[in-house]
Structure 1
Amino acid sequence: MLSLLLTAAMAASAGAPAWHDGLDWHGVHVAISRDAQHNYTLAWPYGERVIAAQPLRTETASALFDGLFAMAQDDLALDSVSAIRDGAFDHGQPIPCQCFVTGLKWPYVWTRDLSYAIDLGLWRFDPARSLNGLKFKLSDVRVPSAPQGLYPMQDTGSGGSWPISTDRVVWFLGARHLLGDKAFAGDVDKALGATLAQDRQYAFDATFGLYRGETSFLDWREQSYPAWTADEVTFIAQSYALSTNVLHYQALQLAATLADGRHDAKTAAGYRSQAAALKSAINAHFWRADRGMYMSYIGGDGTPYDTYDLLGIALAIDSGVADGERARQALANYPTWPAGSPVIWPERSDQPIYHNRAIWPFVSAYALRAARMTEQPARIAHEIESVMRGAALYGSNMENYELLTQGQHVDEGKLSGPVVNSPRQLWSVAAYFAVVTEGVFGLGEDGRVEPKLPTSLVPMLFGQRRAITLDLRDRQITLQLPEKIAGNLLVADHTATRGTATTVTLKAIQVPDAPLRTDAPLYAPIAPAAPLLRADGDGWKITTDGKVRLYLNGRVHGSVDGDGHLARQPGLACLSATRVDAHGLESLHSPATCVGEVAKVAGNWPRSWTASAGGSYRVALDYANDHGPINTGITAAVKMLVIRCAGSDEQRLPIVMPHSVRTQPSTWGRFDARAGATCRFTLEDGFNMSYLGHFAHYTGGSGGSDGALNQADVHALLIAPLATGHATP
């Protein structure tokens, strides 16, 4: 059945679609009609949607393209509300807010959904409501003893939210478009300074030069992280994600720009220096030359993971973190299927469809933006067609689609999905706006019009016309065809502006364009079990789950088939395993098995310990945190471990104790001690999301309306010497 679907999909996608009065896909015909007043009727075998004439309009040869633009406006109107609600806030009662809801099934405002949607163009279509939503997600601090300030909220999430997830800085990606409001701009400046300082304190790792935390948006752990993270979130809190680091880079760049606006050259230079160092670290640690792509995430000790995500790569290109040939390669090497581009690759054969084996229109819109920046016409057309097709097939801008069929639900037993799918999902609505304004008409953030339109889309958009037009509230853009079209990309030849009307005469050029990558295997191998280690003479005997590739302290150690031997290591030795398939594709890693001397220091605080040898040590806390479930909440326990070793300066290490289902080690930090030095350890209060005033409205768990909570049941200090080269770039 799968091969038949793929064959049909390839046949359907061969050549540019006409798509004037409808489309055909997998045996389904969608038809659209338009009357003289620009009312549209979209019909398919199982339904019909009538779309009233909208205030903004496109005039092209495709009633489908024009009608879907009208439908996106209608979806946005339905998402525009005067009150929001969620079962975990104010006991599900309405909360007044002239805001956008996230979608039909998500009647609340979430930081990342709103911010990405605004960045994709909602700021043009309803700036007031966009501003209100961003203000709703900004909060002061309700704990008097904690540092005061304004902070965007990390929503409820993995292991108790921030700093397991650290992508709340995406808020600034949306806010940067609305700085014309002076009062809001002042709040943005304050929040940016406070947030960057706090993330530098609790999420930044100076050894790697990267910020820790979960991948942005991909926050259902088992979908994209190893399956064992379902009840072991500490790995994610210790790891580094491409997307989240790129968002921090963009936040640092914005902070430098705002400091320039205050004529604070010293602060601006500091932020630019941090941004440049972060860009360098991202390129050093995430780039995987054998794949020609940036990895989605790496382990806390630098362990590479053979997994990739389209949003992270697109953001890296869009932000300028990836530039030149790397930017071109990273997008060209990311696989596609006839229906669109998956949000992660490779897929997981043991997980249901949601982030896994799925197309998300808002991610496709960021890929479209990246394709325009790198001038890849085939990819531009592919993403435009994918967003249009999905909206047309289901009469709404859906949250996501299954990858192989672009279905809104595929029945595969326990693997069925998408598990959740909502009509008029806000960032999907924004994705269609981005297709129109950026993808076709070339309207940039700064108001300049720079079309990069694949010639393959001319039959759909122009038909027998010589010009197409976009009418917005404050301007009109017209694109005119050249007399001859010879090439693969239409760009501006001449631009004329009269008042609010801009007319661009196009010219066709030929640019180097890699074909869409369609040869990638769909699934990664299933990860093996953790390697077993037992003392054996001068080292350890290794027993593995069949033939695997071993990683020792973050680096490839070699391959074994069933059993092997590990020589005794100086310091802590942590071994994980991957399985490699016939394509050379690696599975995700098994849990790590660590051997070596670990000191357990219990008792009252402060606690003392004496170093037997000089060097670097790894320290964690044995703890339990039962203040919320693994997948949500706001009560990850965050502390600062203060270490004072004789003969050394004070060392301060952030320690994160996510929600847990058992006693387990916290995140770990690295400190140095001289031989024979006695070290005293003190645990100081940190900061978590329950400290924010807004979460007084949280009624779905601990740390909300019942008061801030930043505690865990702490047992022993765990101290082990680090092997030479452990956790170093």
Structure 2
Amino acid sequence: MRRSPRLAPAIALAIAGLVSAGSAFAGDAAWRDSIAWQGATARMQAAGDGWRLQPKAGDAIDIAAQLMKTDTASPMFDGLFALAQAELSKAQVEAISDNAYDNGRPIPCSCFETGEKWRYVWTRDLSFAADLSLAKLRPERTRNALRFKLSDLRVGAPQGTYVVQDTGSGGSWPISSDRVVWFLAARGLVDAPLGDADAKRFNDEVWHALTDTLAQDRAFVFDRETGLYRGETSFLDWREQSYPRWTADDVAFIAQSFSLSTNVLHYEALRLGERMARERGDARAEEYATQAKALATQIERRFWREDRGLYMSYIGTAAHPVPFEAYDLLGLSLLIDSGIAPEARARLALATYPMLDSGSPVIWPQQPGIAIYHNRAIWPFVSAYSLRAARKVSDSARIEHEVRSILRGAALAGSNMENYELVTQAVHVDDGALSGPVVNSPRQLWSVAGYLAMVMEGVFGLEPDGSIAPKIPATLVPMLFGERDRISLRLPDRDIVLVRPAKIDGDLLVAGKRERDGSRETVQLVAQRSATKAATSPLDAAAFAPASPDAPSIVQSGSRWTIDVPVNHSLYIDGALRSDASSQVRTVQLPQQDAQQCASLTRVEHGIESLHSPTRCIGVDIAIDGAWPRSWRAPKAGRYAVSADFTNTHGPINTGITAAVKTLVATCDGVEEQRGTLVMPHGAARQRSSAVVIDVPAAATCRFTLRDGVNMSYLTHNARYTGGVGGIDGPLNDATLGALHAVPLRAAQQEKSAR
């Protein structure tokens, strides 16, 4: 695979010097009406009131003038803004469809369809698109589409209003638990004037959905031992693309692990809950504030990887909370925008995250032997979030980079595509069995929204509160301004005019003097030095990680366990690094303990660590069989993690709505009733559920019972589901249970859990 280095700092400074001198950068002159890339060229020309685009391949595309308009030195920039609006209009439909719902029949909904190839409304896609720009541009239709993803329960309790988690890994929620992204979209709509009756009604709907969904996730998804919410990474929900290969058959690991993006989304939902509670004088405001603060602390503590200067995409389970050499741009960007990350770390992490001339990969490092989709790919909507994060920390190099990547991709493809191959930015690359992107839809909704956000927010500085705060890299001045002294954005209710400074002696143009004349706001730009230095990341964006190794071989020898660590491998025990890949000691011995010990291996090649092997646990594991309720006399006092063997064959491992969710209730002598969640996802083989941690007094007998939990088949919304069981045939929340397992926690684990 070819590598494309970023612009070296010296070159970037030279370009800035040309801009300062008032000279046009020759390469940018072409970007005004044409973009050449790896032997192909896209061209744009004005055609009457509209434009004509000749993409890299195919027929020319005529683009009509739209309600909103930019006036810059670049017909390419102006025409593609009109194209994004035209594609948004095509996405506005009165009926949606998907083969998994109503057998593919049209479902009435004044909504947005997700893309040319995706004719349904999915919570995640809609919400990110709304947060980027749709809530601002089409508030009424966005409210209506978001309502489609709310539901009450057709069975179960407590009755309320809940956000729908779409079909997904292991039978959907709570394996995937990022449905709270819905509130990221809603926060841009709850500020609408309450004189609008529909806006007032929506505000109330958001409040009820927020309180009910947060309570449900707190009960079934939140892990008290780590202070984090369990579940899969948001958006990166095709597990083989970014999780270890063995998770293709082991979704239980994903259900018990913790991801950066999903936890940041829960933080944002809690912050919205605090805000809306305060507005209503509701006592839950302090509760939400406390939970958000505690969650932010754990996110910062557990996901930061000092040796990389990056935040990890996900970490292991509560029993084995290992760090992973896995990073994703969406999670990082959401984190930076949330304000959780300290300013210095936010700047460092974004500057460290690798990129090529083509764009920024959605994951790093790339995974070997995996087809192109999330792996080896650029996703424009993620680039738009990266642009937002770059503006947050005033990273001029990343701002420029994402603007160019989003612009180039749309121009060459002739549409705002779902994704692109990383190195070529092509819509498809032949690579045998690894060819891809595997799926790639034109006019993908969140890509369209990302392009619109790039223009309105990324270039013209339109903030969510309506203020204007441009941060334009000086290196974009030749393309946008040419010989002009001003550029403008016409919106339905206002015009924004940006005036370039006479002299550019910095790398970032920001707002100076402002003038308002009716609906027109003119902003005089001034140059400043950005806070982040333009530096090339030491990480190769297209580099591959080694393949994950097999689980460690652990041999009992007398009163000890022996683990042979292969050359170039690292060994982790109970979440901590025990033997580094560079260590000369290749045999590790563990004393037998009353508590269980868990181990995994990684392989290190060329300075990059693989994803972890499957985890292997050794030591005390007490099986509890018999009829329910089950009784057990603890051998000693302490804290125990209780889980269950199970099989759940009610759906395929990659989709469905019937992950089994049960509440395990422990009644032990001398202590109050204790309870927790057993999550049991789809899978062909026997698996081990998530664990419930209980305190057991000395010589106590504990009685275990099961109570019904809830899953997505309980939602009225899924009465339409025809893609598997749990839909039109009625709710289903069941698994075949085997033995319970009580595993004593070591003293160190108990102390860590108590913190």
The interval holding the TM-score normalised by the smaller chain is over 0.9
Which of residues 617, 620, 631 is equivalent to 2:643?
620
Say if 2:50 and 2:62, in contact at 8 Å, map to a contact too: no
The equivalent residue for 2:492 is: 473
Q: Which moved more, 1:67-76 or 1:298-307?
A: 298-307
Q: Return the alpha-carbon distance in structure 1 between the equivalents of residues 330 and 202 of structure 2.
A: 28
Map of 1:170 onto structure 2? 181
Other-structure match for 1:251: 269
Whether the 8 Å CA contact 1:359–1:406 is kept in 2: the answer is yes
Offset, 1:40: 3.0
Residue in 2 that maps onto 1:113: 125
1:445 corresponds to: 464
Which residue pairs with 1:532 in the alignment?
553
Separation in 2 of the partners of 1:535 and 1:216? 40
1:355-366 alignment runs, 5 A limit: 355-366=374-385
Match of 1:581 in 2: 605
* 1:206 is aligned to 2:224: yes
Q: Deviations over 1:445-472 (max 9, x none)?
A: 0000011110100000000111001011
**Secondary structure, in 3 states, of the residue corresponding to 2:554?**
strand
What amino acid is the match of 2:739? A
Q: Distance in 2 between matches of 1:497 and 1:7?
A: 43
Query: One-letter code of the match for 1:363?
Result: V
> Could you tell me how far 1:407 is from its partner in structure 2?
1.1
Structure 1, unaligned stretches of length 5 or more? none
SS where residue 328 of structure 1 aligns? helix
Secondary structure of the residue that 2:487 maps to in structure 1? strand
1:238 counterpart = 2:263: no
Shift of 1:512: 3.3
2:99 equivalent to 1:101: no
Given the alignment of the two structures, is residue 277 of structure 1 paired with residue 275 of structure 2, yes or no?
no
- CA 516–477 in structure 1, closer or farther in 2 if over 3 Å, else same: same
Cα gap change, 1:29 to 1:205, in 2 (>3 Å): same
- Residue equivalent to 1:226: 244
Deviates further, 631-640 or 320-329: 320-329
Q: Equivalent residue for 2:701? A: 678
Alignment pair present for 1:457 and 2:461:
no
What is the TM-score normalised by the length of structure 1?
Answer: 0.97
Report how far residue 326 of structure 1 moved: 1.3
Cα distance in structure 2, aligned partners of 1:21 and 1:605 = 73
Distance in 2, matches of 1:547 and 1:495, equals 60
Partner of 1:158: 169
Instruction: Name which of structure 1's ranges 541-550 and 462-471 shifts more when overlaid on structure 2.
Output: 541-550
Please list the CA deviations of residues 390-433 of structure 1 after superposition, one character each: whole Å capped at 9, or x if unmatched. 00010000000111111111111111111111100000000100
1:269 deviates by 1.6
Counterparts in 2 of 1:532-611, with a 5 A limit? 532-544=553-565, 546-559=567-580, 563-583=587-607, 585-611=608-634
Alignment of 1:139-158 (within 5 A): 139-143=151-155, 145-158=156-169
Distance between the aligned counterparts of 1:278 and 1:721, measured in 2?
26
- In structure 2, what residue type is equivalent to 1:659? H
Work out which of the residue numbers 397, 411, 420 in structure 2 matches 1:392. Answer: 411
1:312 partnered with 2:334: no
Q: Retained in 1: the 8 A contact 2:351–2:537?
A: no
Identify the match of residue 348 of structure 1 among 367, 374, 378. 367
Question: Mind listing any 5+ residue stretches in structure 2 that lack a counterpart?
Answer: 16-26, 193-198
Contact 2:675-2:692 within 8 A present in 1 as well: no
Bigger Cα displacement from structure 2, 71-80 vs 667-676: 667-676
**Are 1:262 and 2:260 matched, yes or no?**
no
Deviation at 1:563, TM superposition (A): 4.8
Query: Which of 24, 40, 47 matches 2:52?
Result: 40
After superposition, residues 176-215 of structure 1 pair within 5 angstroms as 176-179=187-190, 180=192, 181-215=199-233
Deviation at 1:290, TM superposition (A): 1.3
Q: Which amino acid aligns with 2:306?
A: A
Cα offsets for 1:221-276 (capped at 9, x unmatched):
01111111101001111111110110011001101111111122x32121111111
Kept in 1: contact 2:5–2:356 (CA 8 A):
no
Aligned-residue offset at 1:6: 3.4
Separation (CA, whole Å) in 1 of partners of 2:530 and 2:587:
52
1:648 aligned residue: 671
Identify the range of structure 1 (555-564 vs 107-116) with the bigger mean alpha-carbon deviation: 555-564
Task: State the match for 2:539 in structure 1.
Answer: 520
* Partner deviation per Cα, 1:271-318 (whole Å, 9 max, x = no partner): 111111111111111111111111111111321112111111100111
- The 2-side partners of 1:492 and 1:263 are apart by 37
Determine the C-alpha separation between the residues in 1 that align with 2:272 and 2:252: 30
Q: Which moved more, 1:210-219 or 1:530-539?
A: 530-539
Calculate the TM-score normalised by the size of structure 2: 0.93
Which amino acid in 1 is paired with 2:733?
Answer: N
Q: Which moved more, 1:307-316 or 1:719-728?
A: 719-728
Q: Equivalent residue of 1:31, what SS?
A: strand
User: Contact 1:161–1:689 (CA<8 Å) still a contact in 2?
Assistant: yes
Match of 1:634 in 2: 657
Question: CA separation of 1:516/1:66 partners in 2, compared to 1, >3 Å: closer, same or farther?
Answer: farther
Are the counterparts in 1 of residues 4 and 423 from structure 2 also a CA contact under 8 Å?
Answer: yes
* Distance 1:8-1:328 versus aligned 2 partners, 3 A rule: closer
Taking only aligned residues, the RMSD between alpha carbons, in angstroms, comes to 1.7
Q: Percent identity?
A: 54
1:709-728 equivalence runs, <5 A? 709-726=732-749, 728=752
Q: Secondary structure at 2:726's aligned position in 1?
A: coil
Question: Structure 1 residues 568, 641: closer, same or farther in 2, change over 3 A?
Answer: same
Tell me, what secondary structure is at the counterpart of 2:631? strand
Structure 1 position 382 matched with structure 2 position 401: yes
- What is the rounded CA distance, in whole Å, between the counterparts of 1:329 and 1:8 in structure 2? 17
- Residue 546 of structure 1: how far off its partner (Å): 4.4
Give the counterpart letter for 1:34 in structure 2: A
Q: Which residue of 1 aligns with 2:41?
A: 29
Query: Alignment partner of 1:354: what SS?
Result: coil
Letter in 1 for 2:4: L
1:38 positional shift: 2.5
CA distance in 1, matches of 2:516, 2:225: 52
The separation in 2 between residues aligned to 1:9 and 1:420, in whole angstroms, is 31
Q: Secondary structure at the match of 1:413?
A: coil
2:232 partner SS: coil
Counterparts of 1:31 and 1:39 in 2: how far apart (Å)? 10
Per the TM alignment, residue 540 of structure 1 is displaced from its structure 2 partner at its CA by 1.7
Residue number among 12, 17, 21 corresponding to 2:28 in the alignment: 17
Note if contact 1:334-1:517 (Cα within 8 Å) is conserved in structure 2: no
1: CA distance between counterparts of 2:627 and 2:119?
47
Take 1:544 and 1:188, find their aligned partners in 2: how far apart are those partners? 52
SS at match of 1:392: helix
Point out the more displaced range, 223-232 or 297-306.
297-306
Structure 1 residue 523: deviation in Å? 1.2
Matched with 1:293 is 310
Deviates more, 1:442-451 or 1:170-179: 170-179
1:46 and 1:97 map into 2 onto residues whose CA distance is 33
